[in-house]
Amino acid sequence: MKKIEHLGIAVKDLEESNALFARLLGTPHYKTEEVASEGVKTSFFKSGPNKVELLEATHPDSPIAKFIEKKGEGIHHIAFEVEDIRAEIARLKAEGFTVLNEEPKMGADNKWVAFLHPKTTNGVLIELCQNRE
Ligand SMILES: CC[C@H](C(=O)O)C(=O)SCCNC(=O)CCNC(=O)[C@H](O)C(C)(C)COP(=O)(O)OP(=O)(O)OC[C@H]1O[C@@H](n2cnc3c(N)ncnc32)[C@H](O)[C@@H]1OP(=O)(O)O
Ligand SMILES: [Co+2]
């Protein structure tokens, strides 16, 4: 794992939360992107070297909708940048973590992504991100 790539925060209303985080961070979001395959609309903020991803559900079956229904708005996942996502998936599987998608999938902000089940990571949903060249 190279570094924390972003913190994912589940929100009910992306526009409202974009305005709140712009006030909080003192800078507007630098992009919004819908990832239909994940049932999410996202917006990204830079805060120094760190990145914050806000996520709103685009349909009731979205992981974000289920999360908010169960736990309310808040930190949804921690994403780590990896050099080689396939190698990292194999390593983590061998370490006994549950990888939710063994085939990397297209994420937002030009990444290949995979997720580890929170049941195997002390209750924290972990995302792996590799830059898509
Ligand atoms: C890819 C675009 C973007 C990017 O950065 O590029 C994203 O980050 S997209 C983010 C949205 N996509 C995902 O989260 C995909 C991975 N998530 C999943 O596959 C599911 O959400 C899963 C498997 C984690 C949970 O789904 P399930 O249908 O099993 O929902 P349950 O409510 O039944 O949850 C089971 C169990 O897990 C706990 N849980 C669920 N979500 C989280 C979470 N984010 N953090 C911690 N724990 C979580 C939930 O509370 C249940 O536990 P229990 O003790 O049984 O209540
Ligand atoms: Co993410």
Q: What is the pLDDT along the chain (133 residues), one digit of tens a residue?
A: 889 999 999 999 999 999 999 999 999 999 999 999 999 999 999 999 999 999 999 999 999 999 999 999 999 999 999 999 999 999 999 999 999 999 999 999 999 999 999 999 999 999 999 999 8
CATH code where residue 96 lies: 3.10.180.10
Ligand 1 neighbourhood includes 51 CB (under 6 angstroms)? no
Q: CA angle at residue 121 from 118 to 123, to 5 degrees?
A: 50
**Distance from residue 127's CA to the centre of ligand 2 (Å):** 6
- Residue nearest (by alpha carbon) to ligand 1 atom 41: 67
- The verdict on pTM exceeding 0.95 is yes
Split into its structural domains, the chain has a count of 1
**Distance from residue 116's CA to the centre of ligand 1 (Å):** 9
Amino acid (1-letter code) at residue 125:
L
Q: Which domain holds residue 105?
A: 3-131
- ipTM tops the 0.95 cut: yes
